Amino acid sequence: MSLDPGPNISMPNPLIKIRPPKGWAALRLGDLVEFRDLLVALAGRDIKLRYKQTLLGVAWVVLQPLLAAGIFTFVFGVIAGMKSTGPSYFAFSFAGLLGWTAFSSTLSKASASMVGNAHLVSKVYFPRLVLPLSTLGSTLLDFAVSLLVMALLLVVYRTVPSAAVLLLPLWLGAILCLALGLGLAAAALTVSYRDVQYILPVIIPFLMYASPVAYEVTAAPEHVRFVLYLNPMTALLEGLRWSLLGGNPAGMVPPTAGWLVYSLAFALLFLAAGAIVFKRMERRFADVI
């Protein structure tokens, strides 16, 4: 007579396994999908909070880029007499600023996102990548509104964009990848070293002058252009502007395929590197922040 061992009791797979960190962390993008509602909620919070207690409210979304382009037109177009292709210097710099603002606002918001939400990081679990990613919401909204203003400008200047306008998402996507990659690394570094918060406001304007926002590459002497194109933002901004204003008979030229590939590769590389740095440092956030 033998004892019936009974049904085999098997341990169900745990939903969550917590283990000490080892080596390089996996990106676990699946977690981001699970927390997509949080991503949306945080992006919504940032958008709602932006223009609270302002007199002009949402009008700032339109006014900011217009004012900036106006100042550029006055300083570079009128005083410095800079030449530009396209319908007018104002439309030219507005298009440049459109791309540049997407870059700089992604970089500065993403880099501040960890420290700015320190209380969340130390009290609640969620994939930390949600915080920098959620900053994209308000940046994209700004971009969309500016794009509408741009469309109005095109109407005003009687410019019909060519089919190149369909490439717009490519330029924007690459610019965001580049900025987010840098922003992720900066956000992770800021957790331990607050210096980053002070360096960035100095570096960002510098980068702007190193990128063709107020000028176009062809305005530079031939032998300098190579150096300008080393900056991955150069080809992307030129491409963006060509997409928007290239329909003008005055015509501007898109960046060469070589520089385009270079910049796109750079953008993806930055994004991957930033994400890896972020994940690598992520585990210490709650203890250090």
Partner 1 sequence: MSLSDIAISVRGLGKAYTIRHAATRAPTTLAEAMLERIRHPLGRTQEREEFWALRDVSFDVKRGEVVGVIGRNGAGKSTLLKVLSRITEPTTGEVDLYGRVGSLLEVGTGFHQELTGRENIFLNGAILGMTRAEIRREFDAIVDFSGVEKFLDTPVKRYSSGMYVRLAFAVAAHLRSEILIVDEVLAVGDAEFQGKCLGKMKEVAGLGRTVFLVSHRLDFVIDLCSKGFLVRDGQLAFLGPARESVIRYTETATLVPADAPSVDSYRRRRRSVGVVDIVAVDIDGSGVPTSVQVLIHIDVHCATAEIVCLLSVISTTGVTAFSVSSMDYGPPLSMSRGRHTIRIGIPTESLLPDSYVMDVRIAPNTSALAWDALEQYPMITVYPHSRTPRTWFDRPGRLVVGGVQWAMEPDS
Helix (H, G, I), strand (E, B), or coil: what is residue 270?
helix
Residue 286 as a binder of partner 1 (CB under 8 A): the answer is yes
Residue 248 DSSP symbol: S
Between CA 127 and CA 105 the distance in angstroms is: 22
Helix (H, G, I), strand (E, B), or coil: what is residue 271?
helix
159 and 87 Cβ atoms separated by less than 8 Å: yes
Q: Which of residues 168-227 bind partner 1 (CB under 8 A)?
A: 189, 192-196
Between CA 120 and CA 215 the distance in angstroms is: 42
Residue type at position 176: L
Residue 8 as a binder of partner 1 (CB under 8 A): the answer is no
Residue 11 DSSP symbol: P
Token readout for 131 is: 């915080």
Compute the residue count for the chain.
Answer: 289
Q: Which of residues 101-130 bind partner 1 (CB under 8 A)?
A: 119-126
Provide, rounded to whole angstroms, the least separation between the CB of residue 211 and partner 1. 25
- Select 69 or 121, whichever has its Cβ closest to partner 1: 121
Among 29, 33, 41, 78, indicate the residue that binds partner 1 (CB under 8 A): 41
- Select 193 or 209, whichever has its Cβ closest to partner 1: 193
Provide, rounded to whole angstroms, the least separation between the CB of residue 181 and partner 1. 19
Token readout for 26 is: 């996996």
Q: Under rule CB under 8 A, how many of the chain's residues touch partner 1?
A: 41
- Select 44 or 205, whichever has its Cβ closest to partner 1: 44
Provide, rounded to whole angstroms, the least separation between the CB of residue 286 and partner 1. 4
Provide, rounded to whole angstroms, the least separation between the CB of residue 269 and partner 1. 23
Among 2, 3, 4, 10, indicate the residue that binds partner 1 (CB under 8 A): 10
Residue 49 as a binder of partner 1 (CB under 8 A): the answer is yes
Token readout for 248 is: 């003008």
Question: Comparing C-alpha atoms, which of 205, 204, 186 is closest to residue 195?
Answer: 186
- Select 7 or 249, whichever has its Cβ closest to partner 1: 7
- Select 2 or 53, whichever has its Cβ closest to partner 1: 53
Among 28, 29, 33, 40, indicate the residue that binds partner 1 (CB under 8 A): 40
- Select 130 or 153, whichever has its Cβ closest to partner 1: 130
Between CA 238 and CA 235 the distance in angstroms is: 5
Token readout for 37 is: 């509602």
Between CA 167 and CA 48 the distance in angstroms is: 30
Token readout for 144 is: 């969309």
Half-sphere exposure in the Cβ direction for 90 (13 Å, CA)? 12
Provide, rounded to whole angstroms, the least separation between the CB of residue 64 and partner 1. 21
Residues interacting with partner 1, by CB under 8 A?
9-12, 14-21, 35, 37-38, 40-42, 44-45, 48-49, 52-53, 119-126, 189, 192-196, 283, 286-287
